[in-house]
Amino acid sequence: MSDWTIGIIGGSGLYAIDALEDPQWIAVQSPWGDPSDEILCGTIGHVRVRFLPRHGRGHRIAPSTLDSRANIDALKRAGCTDILAVSAVGSLSEELAPGRFVTVDQFIDNTKGRPSSFFGDGFVAHVSMADPVCDRLSRHAAKAVAAAGGECTEGATYLAMEGPQFSTRAESRLYRHWGAEVIGMTGMPEARLAREAELPYALLAMVTDYDCWRDETEAVDVGQVLDRMQDNARLARETIEAFCKALPRKRTPSPIDHALDNAVVTAPEARD
């Protein structure tokens, strides 16, 4: 076995991975709350894999009520060294047609009041979010999509909205003006929390629709998203398999492994 333990957070339509060897669902407790589900543990090739369905098996948990702190904490406790998140997104860009995969490299967080930090209650830390994803994981994910036979655009700005309703046409056009290229409901605060947990994080987005900014296309509805996710689920599973199998045996350290080194403000004598 190599020294990678990859946490996979599966989005809508991705509730298990069939390529896992020795699969076992394991309950992981977190003091932050209830993770979305048990974690499916196993191996793919030389890599340990810990898979968490973001919305729970059967899709029981809405984006606004997801406990991302519990999810990230549970993956950390399950020994993850890195996280690959997979999500359905709407496209805000002509070039990103439904069916395409995209690696996200920036976020605009327009969620409202979700708990988005592990810090602040007697212990203050400010991590950098300037570059919110892990470059090497993202590049690796894009290559894995190609190896699985899909098409992937590298680098896109993700607008995280609160939901659960989809956007109005005016909002959708506004987000395009802001420079957002894809839109989803779950990438934030997940990416922030992964950084605070010192877990390198990449977000592989699967475009399911053109949201509602495009006059010549029907506005998004949940049927479109689920149909497209179903079409792409096989490709997503093969991408995850290719991703794990192509990781080098040796995991060289990432600067994100030490994201808190210069981030903590609270004086040592004031910490519990």
Q: Which residues are catalytic?
A: 209, 211
DSSP code of residue 229: H
Is 158 among the residues that bind ligand ADE (CB under 6 A)? Answer: no
User: Where does this chain touch ligand ADE (CB under 6 A) — which range of 44-52, 88-96, 149-157, 259-267?
Assistant: 88-96
Q: Which residue is nearest to ligand ADE (CB)?
A: 90
Cβ neighbourhood burial of 245 (10 Å; 0-12, 13-18, 19+): middle
Q: Which residues within the stretch 162-181 sit at the binding site for ligand ADE (CB under 6 A)?
A: 166
Could you tell me the smallest distance in angstroms from the CB atom of residue 120 to ligand ADE?
28
The pair of three-digit structure tokens given for residue 40, joined into one six-digit string: 């499916």
In sequence order, which residues have a C-beta less than 8 Å from that of residue 121 and are 6 or more positions away? none
What is the nearest approach in angstroms of ligand ADE to the Cβ of residue 82?
A: 24
Taking the least distance from each CB to ligand ADE, the nearer of 147 and 226 is 226
Decide: helix, strand or coil at residue 212: coil
CA gap 183, 207 in Å, rounded: 9
In this structure, are residues 183 and 175 in contact, taking their beta carbons and an 8 Å threshold?
Answer: yes
Q: Does 225 bind ligand ADE (CB under 6 A)?
A: yes
Contact 97, 217 (CB under 8 A): no
Contact between 90 and ligand ADE per CB under 6 A: yes
* Alpha helices, DSSP H, located in 68-205: 68-77, 135-147, 169-177, 187-196
Rounded least distance, CB 99 to ligand ADE, Å: 13
Please report whether residue 185 would count as binding ligand ADE according to CB under 6 A: yes
Our finding on whether 236 is near ligand ADE (CB under 6 A) is no
The CA-atom distances, in angstroms, between 77 and each of 13, 26, 73, 193, 199 are 25, 12, 6, 14, 11
Please give the helix or strand (H or E) that residue 158 lies within, else none. strand 157-161
- What count of residues does the chain have? 272
Which CB sits closer to ligand ADE, 169 or 258? 169
When asked if residue 203 is in the footprint of ligand ADE (CB under 6 A), the reply is no
Q: Which is nearer to ligand ADE, 138 or 167 (CB)?
A: 167
Figure out which of the listed residues 209, 236, 242, 247 binds ligand ADE, where binding follows CB under 6 A: 209
The binder of ligand ADE chosen from 53, 98, 132, 184 (CB under 6 A): 184
Number of H-type helices and E-type strands within the chain: 5, 11
Kindly tell me which of 166 and 243 has the beta carbon lying closer to ligand ADE.
Answer: 166
Residues 12-41 binding ligand ADE (CB under 6 A) are none
Report yes or no: 265 and 125 within 8 Å, Cβ to Cβ: yes
The footprint of ligand ADE (CB under 6 A) covers: 88-90, 161, 166, 183-185, 208-209, 211, 220, 225
